[in-house]
Chain A
C-alpha cells in the first residue's frame, strides 16, 4: 500500500515537474534577477542581451539603433517614457519619409486628421459624430477610396488622393482605436494617444497592442514592475528567435529535403490541370497551416517583446493556438490583436445596438459584422494598390475568394459559439484530442480559400478543395 502511495507520489511529482517545465526559464520570477535588472548595470546588461537578440530580426544597423536608442532612454529614464514614445513615431516618419516630401506631407496630414477627429469626438460627445466616430471614420475612408477611383489616372488629384488612401490605410485602425478611447475614464492624454499611432515597437495595419487606453492599463508603474515586464519581453524575444530558427529548418526539411510542394504550388498545378497526388495536396495544406501559425507567432512575439521592453505588459499575440478545442478559441489565440480589433470596432457596436430581443440572432449578427464585414473591409482596404490598379468594381470581383473565405469563417465561428454553451466532454481523447484535431482540420480546409486568393477565381479554389475528397470536376 505504502509502495503504491510512493509510486503514485512519484508519478504525480513527475507530472507536475513536466507541466512546470519551461524551455526558457521564467527569469521574471527569480527575485535576484529582478533586483539586478533594476540596477544601472542590470539595465545595461538587459539592453545589451535584448539588442543582440533583436539583431536577428533587424540585420541593418540603422533600423536596430532606431529601435534600441529610445528603448535605452525609456529603460534608464522611465519617467520620460510617454514623451519618448510620443515623439519616436513622428521622428521615425521623418527618417523614413524625409527624402519624399509628398509622402512626408501626406503622413503629417493623416496624423493631424487623426488628432483633429479625436479632439472633435472629445469636445462633442453627444453629436452624431461623437456618438459613432468610428463609423464616420470608416465611411470617410470608403468615400476617399471611391473618389480616388473616379479621379483621372496619372492626374495630380489622383496622385494626391491615392497617396492619402495609402497613408490612411496604414493609420486608419490606430485612429479608430483613439476614437474608441473617448469612453475611457480618465480621458487619455494626447501624448499617450500619439504613442499608439504606429508605435516604436512596430505593428502591421493592426495596432499592436490596441489603443492608448489599453497601453495606460498595462503600463509598468514601478521600477520592479518595469524590470519584470522587461524580463518577460526578453523571454518572449528568445522564444521568437527559437521559433524563427524552427521555421527555417521546417522549410528546408519539408520543402527542400522531402520536396513537398507548398500549398501555393499545389493550387497552381491544379489550376494548370497538372494536379499533384492527393496525399501531397493534403500534406501541403497541413504544412501551410503550421507555417502560418509559426510565421504569425514569430511576427507577433517580436513586436510584443519590444513593446514589453518599453514597459507595457501586453498579452502575447499568439498564445498556444494548437491547444484550442473550438474554432472560436483558435481565432482568439491565433492572432489576438486582429481579433480584438474586430471585436472592439465591429462586434461590440453591433451587439450592443441591434437585435436586443433576439438572443441568437443578436450573436449571429454581431459575429457577421465582425468576422465577415469587418474582416472583409480590413483586408480589402489594406490592399488598396489592387483597387488602384484594377478599379473598384474589378477589385471587388477579384475579392470573391476572400468573400467566400470570410463567409465560411463566420459560419464556423457562429457554429462554435452555439456549441460552446454546451458542457464540455470530459476525458483526454474525446474532450481534448478529438476537438483539437477537428479545429486544425477546419482551419486547414479553410486555408484553401486563403492561398493565392487574389490570383485565381473562386471556382479554381473550389475545384482544388473538391479534389482533396477525390471529387474531380
Chain B
C-alpha cells in the first residue's frame, strides 16, 4: 500500500465509510514495521486495537465453573419444585381423608347405635314384653281412673247449671 492509497483509506476510515475488509487492511498495514512518520499516532491506535483483540479471559477454571454452575442450579431447582408440587397435592389429599374419617366418627357417635336384640330366648322375651305392656296398661288404667273423677266434676257442674236455668225460668214466669 503506498502512502497515497493509505491516506485515502484513512480518510474514509475517519469518516466511518470503510468496510470491515478495508479496516482489516489498515490493521494489517500498521502491523508492519515501516510506518511513515506522519502516521505514527494512527499506528499507535491500530496497534492498540490489534493488541486488545488478544486479551483473553485468563481463568483456566472458567469453563469448569460455568459447567458446574449450570449443572448445579438448573436440575436441582426443577426437582425441588416438582417435589414441592407433589407434596402440595399429597397434603391436600391427606387433609381430605383425615377430615372425612373424623367427621364420620363424630356422626357415628351422635346417632344411637342400631337396635339389637336384648334377649336370645323368645319365651323370656315374650314375658318381658308382656310385663312392659302390662306396666303401660296399668298406667293407662290409672290415668283413666283419674279422668273419671274429672268427669264426675263435669257432670255435677252441668247438673247445677241446668237446675239454675230452670229456676230462673220459673221466676220469670
**Chains A and B are bound partners:** no
